[in-house]
């Protein structure tokens, strides 16, 4: 049995799924990663297209970071405008993001779900995104039967 401190430092392997829709364009990725629970929030480390990614939730704010061929930092806070900082091929720029909806749920037993609805860029393009990090099931893992 693992003991946890008052700040609940805890880590587990997860399967990450990201689905986003901007207008008629949709995007979905799946990856493996790790989720760390600490100080009433969490962070998820995973990779996509060979780049290292980190999604963090703390004090009502979600921060998404990606580093590798494409580098960016995006911050989401419901009802607030923030900036996305993006670097690709040696060129960098930023653009505004307005977060309309930010929904977060998480548990040390199952993982986390982040739901975002935000506008970005000069055209205020609306994007909907669902990020899930679910506990990775181990083959032959003991499972507790559901109550009937």
- Full pLDDT tens readout for the chain, 148 residues: 333 334 457 789 999 999 999 999 999 999 999 999 998 899 999 999 999 999 999 999 999 999 998 899 999 999 999 999 998 878 888 999 999 999 999 998 899 999 999 999 778 899 999 999 999 987 766 666 666 6
Give the per-residue pLDDT at 146: 60
Measuring CA to CA, which residue among 130, 127, 129, 131 is closest to residue 22?
Answer: 127
Give the per-residue pLDDT at 130: 98
- Provide the b/e sequence for 70-94 (b: ≥16 CB within 10 Å): eebbbbbbbeeebebebeeeeeeee
Q: Are 33 and 50 in contact (CB under 8 A)?
A: no
């Amino acid at each position: 049995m693992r003991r946890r401190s008052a700040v609940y430092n805890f880590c587990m392997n997860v399967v990450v799924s990201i689905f986003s829709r901007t207008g008629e364009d949709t995007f979905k990725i799946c990856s493996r990663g790790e989720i760390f629970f600490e100080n009433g929030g969490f962070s998820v480390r995973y990779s996509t297209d060979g780049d290292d990614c980190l999604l963090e939730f703390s004090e009502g704010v979600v921060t998404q970071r990606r580093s590798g061929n494409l580098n960016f930092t995006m911050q989401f806070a419901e009802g607030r405008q923030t900036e996305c900082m993006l670097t690709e091929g040696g060129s960098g720029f930023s653009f505004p993001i307005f977060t309309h909806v930010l929904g977060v749920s998480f548990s040390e037993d199952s993982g986390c779900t982040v739901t975002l609805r935000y506008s970005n860029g000069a055209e205020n393009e609306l994007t909907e995104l669902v990020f899930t990090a679910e506990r990775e099931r181990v083959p032959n893992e003991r499972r507790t039967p559901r109550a009937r």
